[in-house]
Amino acid sequence: MSGAATPMTTAREAGLVACTRCTRVWPMGTDRCGRCGKTLVSRDTHSLSRVWAWWAAGLLCYFPANLYPMLRTQVLFQVSEDTIVGGAIELAKQGAPFVAIIILIASVAIPIGKFAAIAWLATSVRRGSRTPPQSRHRLYEIVEYIGRWSMIDVFVVAILTALVQLNLAASIKPGPAALAFALSVIFTMLSAQAFDPRLIWDRAADDSASDERA
């Protein structure tokens, strides 16, 4: 951008407050963005408590999502129940390891990775971190982008339930884990959205300033 060669100035340093929705800049102390109507805060100080609240809600839903069955499949008179991991193992056994891997990544690796990443980011802005802000910001972008994809397993359950209704031959019903899992994904998305990424850069700027003083 135009200021690339000159040292970076933040809106806060310049006595201004930025709208994070429409990028418009206003004098410090302005309450509301005159362009898009968003409430203006130079730094969202309540951001972290909202992040942790959604994070805890998401984690709380994640346990039942894995313990209870996601699908109840009835073929002729045989009924079987599958949890998320159980379903993926079943797929691998049926000779579809690639799809099993997609499900495991979307439903296990991504959610757990997200919980860990958000917790680490939230702790790092409070306590400081040796990891450069560029890397932490990159991680935040990945978390924000990838979180929605965990919803795939819920959609698969919805599709199968609607489709596999063949009287006695075969039928599929959703299990309680479907709701728990959907809630867990939604709560972690809200947790990531509540995080104010500007905190990553502030803390880094403060740290390097104190390094210079030392």
What is the footprint of other proteins within residues 83-102 (CB under 8 A)? 87, 91, 94, 96, 99, 102
Between 99 and 119, whose beta carbon lies closer to other proteins? 99
Q: Are β-strands 25-27 and 71-75 bridged in parallel, bridged antiparallel, or unpaired? A: unpaired
- Closest contact distance (angstroms) between CB of 40 and Zn ion is 8
Residue 137 interacts with other proteins (CB under 8 A): yes or no: yes
Residues 45-84 that bind other proteins (CB under 8 A): 73, 75
Distance of alpha carbon 50 from alpha carbon 28, whole angstroms: 24
- 105, interface contact from other proteins, Zn ion, none, CB < 5-8 Å by kind: none
DSSP H helical ranges for 21-151: 47-67, 84-93, 97-104, 110-127, 133-146
Least distance in angstroms from the C-beta of 64 to other proteins = 12
- Tell me: does residue 33 bind Zn ion (CB under 5 A): yes
Which pair of structure tokens corresponds to residue 181? 């899992």
If one asks whether residue 19 binds Zn ion (CB under 5 A), the answer comes out as yes
Region binding Zn ion by CB under 5 A among candidate stretches 35-43, 65-73, 100-108, 131-139? 35-43
Q: Which residues contact 107 (CB under 8 A, 6 or more apart)?
A: 84, 88, 150, 152, 153, 181
CA distance 169 to 183: 32
Binds 75: which of Zn ion, other proteins, none (CB < 5-8 Å by kind): other proteins
The correct pick among 29, 31, 32, 35 for binding other proteins (CB under 8 A) is 35
Distances, alpha carbon 28 to alpha carbons 18, 35, 200, in Å: 9, 16, 21
Q: How far is the CB of 60 from other proteins (least distance, A)?
A: 15
SS3 151: helix
**Residue 4: CB minimum distance to Zn ion, A:** 12
What distances in angstroms separate CA 190 from CA 39, 106, 120, 143, one per listed residue? Answer: 18, 18, 16, 12
**Which option in Zn ion, other proteins, none does residue 20 bind, with CB closer than 5 to 8 A by kind?**
other proteins
Q: Least distance from C-beta 211 to other proteins, angstroms?
A: 18
Structure token pair of residue 203: 């803390």
Nearest distance, CB of residue 199 and other proteins, angstroms: 10
Nearer to other proteins, 12 or 52 (CB): 12
